[in-house]
Amino acid sequence: MAVKEETRELTLRQREGRAINAVAELLRRTLSVPNIYLEPPSSLISADILAVDRGGAGDLHAVEVRLKRELNPFEGQRQKQSTPKQLNALYAAWYPKYAELLHGIHRQLMSMPAHYRYLAIPAESFDLAFGELGRFGLFPEDGIGRLGIITIKQNGGESPTAEMAVVPERFRMDPAKLRAIETKLLAKSRPDIEVRI
């Protein structure tokens, strides 16, 4: 008996959950035997995904997933013919909030205790976000490290896919923060995704 799946709009939380799975799969394929924690305790690290390379003994890879409407001015807008004047007005009202939101995300990512830091965003938002992040810089002040950007492509009813748009570079990490994550999370919690050998 075939069950007809209802087509309905997913909530933001459902879309983010599916994107988190897509990013986790990307990290599982690209890292060496990673242990992956989905939504680790925010008291230790403010990230949606924390992947620890080399079976839990390697570098920390932290990803923040942002799919909110504020990152795309035209998301949720009905597909109708808009005049250039209407589009310009929409963009002018939206852009200051967008720049402020992205600046806050940038500060959060730069302070994240991880060797590799990523922002995952909708694929259609990449060009605008990359341009805006360029104003703040993908590199920290000391020049060691670069933020990575992962794009999420929605595929209708299929699972979303994640692709590496900007490859990250290794950041310095505070040894005390690393020790806290190792002792309070990695030593006490099983990862959500691990390669069993």
- Does 194 have pLDDT greater than 90? no
The residue-averaged pLDDT of 124-130 equals 88
Element (H, E) at 176: helix 175-181
pLDDT of res. 128: 85
The pLDDT tens digits of the residues spanning 27-84 come to 999 999 999 999 999 888 999 999 999 888 899 999 999 987 666 655 555 445 667 8
More confident residue, 13 or 22: 22
Residues 102 and 140: their CA atoms lie apart, in Å, by: 16
Token pair recorded at residue 152: 């999420």
pLDDT of res. 3: 46
Angle made by CA atoms 174, 38, 195, in degrees to the nearest 5: 95
More confident residue, 100 or 3: 100
User: Would you list the DSSP string of 119-169?
Assistant: EEEEGGGHHHHHHHHHHH-SS-TTS--B-EEEEEEEETTEEEEEEEEE--B
- The mean pLDDT of the chain is 86
Reported as a pLDDT band with limits 50, 70 and 90, residue 139 is very high
The residue-averaged pLDDT of 131-153 equals 91
pLDDT of res. 97: 84
70: nearest Cα among 89, 93, 48: 93
Burial class (CB in 10 A: 0-12, 13-18, 19+), 187: exposed
Angle made by CA atoms 62, 158, 69, in degrees to the nearest 5: 55
pLDDT of res. 10: 79
Taking the model in full, what pTM does it have? 0.86
Three-state DSSP class for 11? coil
Is beta strand 158-166 parallel, antiparallel or unpaired with respect to 49-52?
A: unpaired
